[in-house]
Amino acid sequence: MASEDRRARRSRRLLRESFVSLVLERGFSAVTVEDIAARADVGRATFYTHYSDKDALLDQIVSDLIADMNARMAPLVSTSTEGFTGKPVLEMFRHVAEERAAYRVVLRGEGDGRALRRFTEDRVAAAVEVFAGRAAATGVTLRIDAQLLARAWVGELVAVMQWWLETESTLTPEQITETLLDLSLRGRYWASGFDGEPSAHRTA
């Protein structure tokens, strides 16, 4: 039984790695089950033992990324009432760095964008919970609807992740986090180089 479990895990790992590398080379629509099995050096029957089709394999990859991300973020969410510590963002970018190839597939929107939508919606739900929880714990009232606030924040994060991965930026997760923390605390007005009150620079 144990040896069978090890073989199954090895097969799934090989199929996942083969699928990811092929999608990055050719795009999701150009990759077939036969291609994946051949790259993994397993038979088609082995592929179908684990996945019904390549869509199911992509679904499993994003499910695994989400599960891993949530597990890593869970110990940090409880400290979010301290304010914007940057710890959850840092952990997120560290995870992206460790799973760079898989995240590139997801964030590119491969598979008709289904995986990207799932990842985005999961992060939005988590952000809504954090923002609402922080507001309740500190006794403040959100000035923007929690859903809108969360979607703006997650959209920004996803865009930065996409750029970071695709340009092979040399910025570290720590540097990215520090920059995003400054942006969160000081705002785009400050980031654009202005001082003083924003109203002083408004134009019609």
Q: Tokens in use for 50?
A: 């684990």
- Residue 3 shares a structural domain with residue 31: yes
Whole-prediction pTM value?
Answer: 0.88
- Residue 159 shares a structural domain with residue 71: yes
Q: Using alpha carbons, select from 86, 102, 149, 141 the residue that is nearest to residue 123.
A: 149
CA 81 – CA 77 distance, rounded (Å): 8
26-48 confidence digits (pLDDT tens): 999 999 999 999 999 999 999 99
Q: Count CB-CB contacts under 10 A for residue 43.
A: 12
Q: Give residue 3's pLDDT.
A: 66
Residue 112 lies in a domain: yes
- CB 131, CB 88: distance < 8 Å: no
97-109 confidence digits (pLDDT tens): 999 999 999 999 9
- CB 65, CB 20: distance < 8 Å: no
Domain that includes residue 27, residue range: 1-51
Residue 200 lies in a domain: no
Residue 98 lies in a domain: yes
- CB 87, CB 31: distance < 8 Å: no
Please check the confidence at residue 158 and state whether its pLDDT lies above 90: yes
Rounded to an integer, what is the distance from CA 157 to the centroid of its chain? 8
Residue 40 lies in a domain: yes
Q: Tokens in use for 47?
A: 């592929």
Per-residue DSSP letter, 197: -
